[in-house]
Amino acid sequence: MQSIEKIVMIGAGNLATNLAVALHNNGLQIVQIVNRTLDNAEKLAEKVNAKFTDDYDGINDKADLYIIAVSDDSICELLGKLNLRDKLVIHTAGSIDMEVLHAFSNKYGIFYPLQTFSKNEIISFENIPVCIEANTVEYETVLFQLGEKLSNNVHKVSSEQRKILHVAAVFASNFSSYLYLIADKILSDNNMSFDLLKPLIFRTAEKIQSQATENALTGPARRNDTAVLQAHLQLLENLPEYQQIYNLISNSIVKHFHQS
């Protein structure tokens, strides 16, 4: 069975950066960073002691694994530029079917870490769920073992399941982040600091680590406190977009807990 030592990372964004550093820190060799923006390729290459290029024809052909870690909407265009026919090629995107890789290689799979990443804050992969899929049992094992070098939370997940996970993650993470942004905007419009909400936000996420989602929810909509709900909608009168979001989510909470 093939074992992974040398890796080419294609991409240099938030996920590519965190993944390359995690692989590097766990003894894998990142031989090359390939990225359309040379400057970003260089920045990541420095972090993991790799060579770098913005030339897709200049990709190192001696690596054991080629990781495409670019945004979901760039993958298909990018694949057309690569020549990796006999190489093990994987992507890291939440919503792209594994089989898009079929036309470009005969050895392919998925390595999807379910986490939100920032280039500027490198985090440990230790507890991050890593979702693995591959076109053969052999490559699945290879990728699973690679995952286990980084994380104690590796799972076999089909493309269909991965898409479901991704949409659930959008609700739980992206949309929560946007609600934090709305709260920030409401406070700054009224000359108050977002810092006041930070302990609450942290505790809300901490609570869900041990309590059932059905039990963790508190607040006026949970209690169906119509007087407070009306007062809040009135407070948001000058922010109609946020008022609409408040209304839709509150109604959904009331329906969930009081009308079902």
Which residues ranging from 191 to 230 are in contact with its own copies (CB under 8 A)? 192, 194, 196-211, 213-223, 225-228
Comparison of 11 and 50: residue with beta carbon closer to its own copies: 11
Comparison of 3 and 120: residue with beta carbon closer to its own copies: 120
Interface with its own copies (CB under 8 A), residue total 92
Tokens of 193: 């600091």
H helices then E strands: how many in the chain? Answer: 10, 8
- Taking CB under 8 A as the binding criterion, the range among 29-37, 79-87, 102-110, 120-128 that sits at the site for its own copies is 120-128
Comparison of 4 and 172: residue with beta carbon closer to its own copies: 172
Tokens of 33: 């960073």
Give 242: exposed, middle or buried? Use CB within 10 Å, 0-12, 13-18, 19+: middle
Residue of 67, 6, 63 whose CA lies nearest to 35: 67
Comparison of 140 and 225: residue with beta carbon closer to its own copies: 225
Q: Which of residues 152-191 bind its own copies (CB under 8 A)?
A: 153, 155, 161, 163-184, 186-187, 190
Q: Decide: 108 and 132 in contact? Cβ < 8 Å.
A: no
Comparison of 62 and 171: residue with beta carbon closer to its own copies: 171
Please identify which residue in 116, 141, 145, 159 interacts with its own copies, judged by CB under 8 A: 116
Tokens of 127: 């507890």
Q: Which of residues 8-37 bind its own copies (CB under 8 A)?
A: 14
CB atoms within 10 A of CB 14: 17
Task: Give min distance, CB of 29 to its own copies, in A.
Answer: 27
Task: Give min distance, CB of 144 to its own copies, in A.
Answer: 16
Residue of 214, 232, 114 whose CA lies nearest to 167: 114
Q: Which of residues 60-99 bind its own copies (CB under 8 A)?
A: 71-73, 94-95
Please identify which residue in 238, 241, 259, 260 interacts with its own copies, judged by CB under 8 A: 241
Phi first, then psi: give them for residue 49, nearest 5 degrees: 60, 45
Alpha carbons 228 and 219: distance in angstroms, whole number:
10
Task: Give min distance, CB of 2 to its own copies, in A.
Answer: 28
Comparison of 60 and 95: residue with beta carbon closer to its own copies: 95
Name every residue whose Cβ is closer than 8 Å to that of residue 174 and which is 6 or more positions away in sequence. 116
Distance from the first to the final alpha carbon of the chain = 54
Task: Give min distance, CB of 20 to its own copies, in A.
Answer: 17
